[in-house]
Structure 1
Amino acid sequence: MELIKKSGLEIEISRHRLQIERIQPIVNDMLNEGFNFSTTELKDLRDGCKLLYKQAEDMARKDTSRIKALFRRNKDYEDTITHLRGVINSKTSELYTILRSGSLRPLDVGAYEVENGNVILSPAWLNQKEEEYTIQPTDSRIQAEELVQNVKKAIDELNAFVSDNPYFGLGFGSIKDDRRCLCRLTENGEFYIEKENYEYI
């Protein structure tokens, strides 16, 4: 039995690849604001922003530490943290929309990595999808394949057997096929033999 590739892999990859150019501006904006922004932060942006909010606090604290007057430092800190949290919330909303979160077929944030500031498809995710869309041989699947091939061979031989007989349309047909045959498959998947048709052989 050979490896079987399920349909839909290229569509799934393409769905995610098409959104790279929409996610890239989010990464650019976060980097321009001074955030350290890698794959971890991209996932955090989708999953509650705990790391990013902590980073924003650290950035605001560092940015205002040079101010000696406490009231000015506190005011500057609040202004900075409010701005940075606003950026995080805005980019969270944008990413939510791009990934179609909440829809029947949302995109997987794990499909993306940020490498040197550039959004790419994750090699690990691609490998995972490749495995997910590949049916591997097992003993049971090999046996099933052999049984299916045996049935196909028998049907082909039966059809070939009556192919020169003008009284038959097929050797093996379906219940909805009006042509004369020797056996049929019913709508319920049952095997039915047309014994009286042996007369025409």
Structure 2
Amino acid sequence: MKYIIRSLSYIFHPLLMPIIGVLLYFKISPRFFNPAFLFSKLFATTIMTVIIPILSYYMLKNLNLVSDINLKNVKERRYPLLMQLLFTFLLIQIVFKGYEIPELHFFFVAILGSSLAAFILALFSFKASLHMIGISGLVVFIMGLSIHYNQNLLLLIAFLIIGCGGTATSRLEAKAHTYIELIIGFFVGALPQLMAFKYWF
């Protein structure tokens, strides 16, 4: 049971939440997308939100700016978060422009807001849970799509909420966060997505 709980930290890893959000959007949206267009967006998102951040981590490790992939030291979180701000900004400006796919454009604008909030908290030596930021933002985004497209996504939303609870349990089990860090992380991820609704609904 402990193995299953701990595995949730990897299944719902914050690096994977943006690409999962994009995949689910293309699955849920009633709009038609050219396969080449769809592939280009997915490929660019994977590069900018998964591949480059992983490579950046190893660069930071070689520079002795981070010591552990879990970033347990709150000061070490500042560099990866700063890079995430840059990569997300570039993704918004280059890949998901507002006039093409407003839903995904503002999904990433909200992610940018969450990343900025997490960075500011890190400057004040507060370690908000990045896992909770990622999964809570995704849950709220999918809820928004369900309302926006008038689709019954109850099973998907229920699965993500269970995943959210399981991820929180996993982080507590690993002693990676306190309750307050998980709660703050949840709201840092969820609130920007809620605030973004009025721009794409």
**TM-score past 0.5 threshold:** no
- Please identify the structure whose Cα radius of gyration is greater: 1
Higher helix share: 2
Specify the TM-score bucket, using the shorter chain as the normaliser.
under 0.3
Q: TM-score, normalised by structure 2?
A: 0.27
Higher strand share: 1
